[in-house]
Amino acid sequence: MTNRLFNKSFETSIRILLLLTEFSCGQNLDRIYIFDFMISYGTTFGVSEHDLNGNNPYKFGELATRREIARMALKELVLDGMVCPLNSVDGILYSITDTGRKYAATLESEYATEYRSTAKKIIEKFSDVSECTILNQISKKSVELLRNKQE
């Protein structure tokens, strides 16, 4: 993997590998970037006591750019043999490869441990919910936050 300091694609690649280790099957780009966002801000979604990315009043503004960064990160992960794209009736699904799983297993920081733990909770809570429904819930939470700031 290309390793550059402050490389958003690289950081996202690491998080995607951690996330994909928690899924039992391939996932599409939308589910990957949405779940990654939700894991980063777990308190907002009722699954953690604090946000992995800190308290960020502008967190909902990140969502739009995360999709493109995740797409680029997945492309790099596929080229590096860490993730395998699979064609399906529902589009392209991404699964972690054995190489990716081995690399992810070397990530043993406190952040990685907490990311995995929060990922399990998000997957359990939202696995049967469509991406569209989740995005609508996120949008509602964003509007609520804005309204609370104005009061």
pLDDT per residue rounded down to tens, the chain (151 residues): 444 444 588 999 999 999 999 999 999 999 999 999 999 989 988 898 888 877 766 678 788 889 999 999 999 999 999 999 999 998 999 999 999 999 999 999 999 999 999 999 999 999 999 999 999 999 988 888 777 765 5
Q: What DSSP state is assigned to residue 47?
A: S
Instruction: Give the CA-trace dihedral at 143, 147, 150, 151, to 10 degrees.
Output: -170
Predicted pLDDT of residue 126: 95
Reported pTM:
0.89
Q: Extract the runs of DSSP E, i.e. beta strands, from the chain.
A: 83-88, 91-96
Establish how many alpha carbons lie within 13 A of residue 112's alpha carbon, considering only the half-sphere containing its beta carbon.
15
**What is the residue type of 49?**
E
Residues 113, 105: Cα–Cα separation, whole Å: 10
Q: Outline where the chain has alpha helix (H).
A: 8-20, 29-40, 59-79, 98-105, 110-126, 131-150
Residues 146, 93: Cα–Cα separation, whole Å: 34
Read off the pLDDT of residues 90-131 as tens digits, 9 standing for 90 and up.
Answer: 899 999 999 999 999 999 999 999 999 999 999 999 999 999
Residues 27, 29: Cα–Cα separation, whole Å: 7
Q: What DSSP state is assigned to residue 27?
A: B
The CA-CA-CA angle for residues 99, 131, 112, to 5°, reads 40
